[in-house]
Amino acid sequence: MLGLLAPTFVAVIAALCLSGSLRTLVTTRVRWWPAVLVAFAVELVLYNPPVNGQGWAIQVGPWIWLGTKLALLAALLRNAWPGPRWPWLVAAVGVALNAFVVAVNDGHMPQAAEAAIAVWGASHIDPTRLQNVAPMRPDTVLPWLADVLPQPAWIPRPNVVSVGDLLLAAGIAAWVFGAMAPNISFKSRYIDLSAATRRATPRDRRCST
């Protein structure tokens, strides 16, 4: 779980090293932020005691969880327009993939047993309480989009993640980087300086003495 936030931390540090500013980041707002916070709060309540041990939660909880995914997806798409589009779209594709896999696997994200053993030494899935993951079975739909990627042990609290998780983490990290260092673009397949920065460089004849 925490490993998915690591790319965002790296993006913040990289942007600061490249003359980015935290001030430009905090002046940028996340659109539909109340929907984002409510969806996350619902997940927190649903997957923690005492609710995660209730019979009704085990029965309908997975579909409530899917609903929160769709709310987050809507918020990500809302942020993709208008504005810097591609980071939000990458994140939205990640959430959409996760939501789709959950929807076609009875409301749970399938988790590969081998990957779980690689991370924790054993599978932690407890059928007596509501959990968002379920063991991968031979009839699992779209297993390659499920939780099959073990995070390395050096990451704090490593987990087993999906392709959708990686896209989501990369998209948000790219947005944070772009919000902090808006003068650096990735055009032409390399880090390019903006026109304003180029004009200020000594190689430009307008700056020469």
List of residues contacting other proteins (CB under 8 A): 1, 4-5, 8, 25-37, 39-40, 43, 47-48, 68-69, 72-73, 75-76, 91, 94-95, 98, 101-102, 109, 111, 116, 120, 124-125, 131-133, 147, 157, 159-162, 164-165, 168-169, 172, 176
Q: Is the CB of 140 or the CB of 159 nearer to other proteins?
A: 159
What single-letter amino acid sits at 188?
Answer: S
Q: Which CB atom, from 149 or from 194, has the smaller least distance to other proteins? A: 149
Amino acid at 165: D
The CB-of-151 to other proteins minimum distance in angstroms stands at: 8
Question: Measured from the CB of residue 160, what is the shortest distance to other proteins in angstroms?
Answer: 6
Which among 129, 126, 142, 113 is positioned nearest to 62, based on CA atoms? 129
Sign of CA dihedral 152, 158, 163, 169: negative
Task: Give Cα separations from 105 to 99, 109, 122 (angstroms).
Answer: 10, 7, 22
Nearer to other proteins, 83 or 199 (CB): 83
Q: How far is the CB of 58 from other proteins (least distance, A)?
A: 15
Of 4 and 57, which has the nearer Cβ to other proteins? 4
> What does the DSSP assignment read for 82-109?
SSSHHHHHHHHHHHHHHHHHHHHTTTSE
